[in-house]
């Protein structure tokens, strides 16, 4: 019987150079933690220090017999949601993800125009690259997902302008909502080092 092993305990940090990417649905997807991403994937920039969350919990309902005994339990729902807060509020790619690609334009001189309306957001493919303990890479690949919720946007002196989003994954042709690939590395390189850049403005 295997013993407890502290080397299997890890925290998650973002991969240097970018950790969150999206591409049009149908783009060729990576099938490992180290494969090069298709050029269609764009970097979504920094997210908040809270990192990202994954709610992948099934919900069940009970069937009771006369008298109240539970005689059968069945799965009624299986939601696979990801949550993160994008903090590069001046990044056109972030704005396109939040407001819709057709609702964001960038002029030749860099001016950005955003239109807020009821246009339904499209489904995209997403990739999240995380660095675990010992330079271990973990890549989460979401073949098909869309932003279904955006939290309240705060504009204040001491708060970053951020877009708190919920991304709902839907099954691919094989019935899978996301894939996880893990690669244990014995060496540390620029590509696998966690991004620990301090983005706090100095005085």
For residue range 58-105, list pLDDT tens digits in order. Answer: 666 777 777 777 777 765 556 799 999 999 999 999 999 999 999 999
First-to-final CA distance of the chain: 56
Measured in degrees and rounded to the nearest 5, phi and psi for residue 102 equal -75, -10
Over residues 162-173, the pLDDT tens digits come to 999 999 999 999
**Given pLDDT bands bounded at 50, 70 and 90, which one contains residue 152?**
very high
Task: Tell me which residue of 42, 35, 17, 20 sits closest to 195, measured CA to CA.
Answer: 17
User: Do 131 and 193 form a contact (C-beta atoms < 8 A)?
Assistant: yes
Chain position carrying tokens 């150079």: 17
| 158's tokens | 């001491």
| 163's tokens | 């877009």
User: Which pLDDT score, from 0 to 100, does residue 167 have?
Assistant: 96
Instruction: Give me the count of residues in the chain.
Output: 203
Please give the DSSP secondary-structure letter assigned to residue 156. B
User: Which pLDDT score, from 0 to 100, does residue 65 have?
Assistant: 78
| 135's tokens | 């330079």
172 contact partners, CB below 8 Å, separation of at least 6: 143, 144
Instruction: Please say if the pLDDT value at position 47 is more than 90.
Output: yes
**Given pLDDT bands bounded at 50, 70 and 90, which one contains residue 10?**
low
């Amino acid at each position: 019987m295997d013993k407890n092993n502290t080397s299997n305990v890890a925290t998650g940090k973002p991969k240097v150079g970018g950790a969150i990417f999206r591409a049009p649905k149908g783009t060729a997807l990576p099938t490992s933690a180290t494969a090069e991403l298709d050029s269609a994937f764009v970097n979504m920039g920094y997210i908040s220090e809270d990192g990202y969350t994954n709610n992948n919990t099934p919900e069940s309902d009970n069937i009771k017999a006369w008298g109240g005994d539970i005689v059968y339990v069945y799965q009624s729902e299986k939601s696979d949601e990801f949550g993160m807060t994008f903090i590069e509020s001046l990044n056109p790619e972030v704005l396109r993800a939040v407001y819709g690609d057709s609702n964001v334009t960038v002029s030749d001189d860099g001016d950005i125009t955003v239109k807020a309306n009821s246009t339904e957001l499209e489904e995209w493919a997403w990739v999240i690259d995380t660095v675990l303990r010992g330079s271990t890479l973990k890549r989460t690949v979401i073949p098909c997902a869309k932003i279904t919720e955006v939290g309240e946007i705060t504009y204040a002196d001491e708060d970053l302008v951020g877009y708190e989003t919920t991304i709902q994954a839907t099954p691919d042709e094989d019935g899978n909502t996301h894939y996880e690939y893990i690669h244990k590395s014995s060496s540390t390189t620029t590509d696998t080092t966690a991004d620990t850049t301090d983005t706090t403005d100095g005085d």
